[in-house]
Amino acid sequence: MKQCPGTYFVIVIEDVEKSEVVGAATLIVEQKFIHNAANVSGAYSPLQLGCLYLCAMLFIFVSPPVQ
Protein backbone atom coordinates (compact mmCIF):
# COMPACT_ATOMS: atom_id res chain seq x y z
CA MET A 1 0.00 0.00 0.00
CA LYS A 2 2.83 2.39 0.77
CA GLN A 3 4.34 1.79 -2.68
CA CYS A 4 1.09 2.81 -4.42
CA PRO A 5 -0.19 6.05 -2.84
CA GLY A 6 -3.68 6.99 -3.98
CA THR A 7 -4.54 3.38 -4.83
CA TYR A 8 -5.98 1.95 -1.60
CA PHE A 9 -8.53 3.73 0.56
CA VAL A 10 -9.55 1.92 3.75
CA ILE A 11 -12.53 3.12 5.79
CA VAL A 12 -13.29 1.72 9.23
CA ILE A 13 -16.29 2.59 11.40
CA GLU A 14 -15.76 2.02 15.10
CA ASP A 15 -18.04 2.16 18.12
CA VAL A 16 -15.55 3.97 20.34
CA GLU A 17 -17.56 3.38 23.50
CA LYS A 18 -17.31 -0.40 23.00
CA SER A 19 -13.94 -0.36 21.17
CA GLU A 20 -15.58 -2.44 18.47
CA VAL A 21 -15.31 -2.29 14.68
CA VAL A 22 -18.83 -2.17 13.25
CA GLY A 23 -18.01 -1.74 9.57
CA ALA A 24 -15.13 -1.63 7.11
CA ALA A 25 -14.64 -1.08 3.40
CA THR A 26 -11.70 -0.86 1.02
CA LEU A 27 -11.68 0.99 -2.29
CA ILE A 28 -8.94 -0.01 -4.70
CA VAL A 29 -8.31 2.36 -7.58
CA GLU A 30 -7.07 0.17 -10.43
CA GLN A 31 -4.15 1.53 -12.39
CA LYS A 32 -4.65 1.31 -16.14
CA PHE A 33 -2.40 -1.36 -17.61
CA ILE A 34 -2.58 -0.45 -21.30
CA HIS A 35 -2.03 2.85 -23.11
CA ASN A 36 -5.18 4.98 -23.42
CA ALA A 37 -7.27 2.46 -21.48
CA ALA A 38 -9.39 5.29 -20.14
CA ASN A 39 -10.63 6.13 -23.63
CA VAL A 40 -13.52 4.21 -25.17
CA SER A 41 -13.39 3.49 -28.89
CA GLY A 42 -15.52 5.92 -30.89
CA ALA A 43 -18.00 3.25 -31.96
CA TYR A 44 -18.71 2.32 -28.32
CA SER A 45 -18.74 5.83 -26.87
CA PRO A 46 -22.53 6.37 -27.33
CA LEU A 47 -23.23 3.20 -25.31
CA GLN A 48 -22.09 4.92 -22.07
CA LEU A 49 -20.05 1.92 -20.93
CA GLY A 50 -18.52 3.91 -18.08
CA CYS A 51 -21.99 4.36 -16.61
CA LEU A 52 -22.62 0.64 -17.04
CA TYR A 53 -19.43 -0.16 -15.12
CA LEU A 54 -20.38 2.20 -12.31
CA CYS A 55 -23.92 0.82 -12.06
CA ALA A 56 -22.60 -2.75 -11.92
CA MET A 57 -20.12 -1.86 -9.16
CA LEU A 58 -22.82 -0.10 -7.14
CA PHE A 59 -25.13 -3.10 -7.55
CA ILE A 60 -22.41 -5.42 -6.23
CA PHE A 61 -21.70 -3.01 -3.38
CA VAL A 62 -25.30 -2.80 -2.14
CA SER A 63 -26.23 -6.45 -2.72
CA PRO A 64 -26.03 -8.86 0.20
CA PRO A 65 -23.24 -11.43 -0.08
CA VAL A 66 -24.13 -14.80 -1.60
CA GLN A 67 -23.83 -17.66 0.86
Domain ranges of the chain: 8-62
pLDDT higher than 60, residue 37: no
Q: Which of 26, 30, 33 is nearest to 11 (CA)?
A: 26
The reported pLDDT for the residue numbered 36 is 56
pLDDT tens column, 53-65: 788 878 887 887 7
Cα of first residue to Cα of last residue in the chain, in angstroms, is 30
The reported pLDDT for the residue numbered 7 is 82
pLDDT tens column, 1-32: 677 777 888 889 999 999 999 988 888 877 76
As a whole number of angstroms, the distance between CA 15 and CA 23 comes to 9
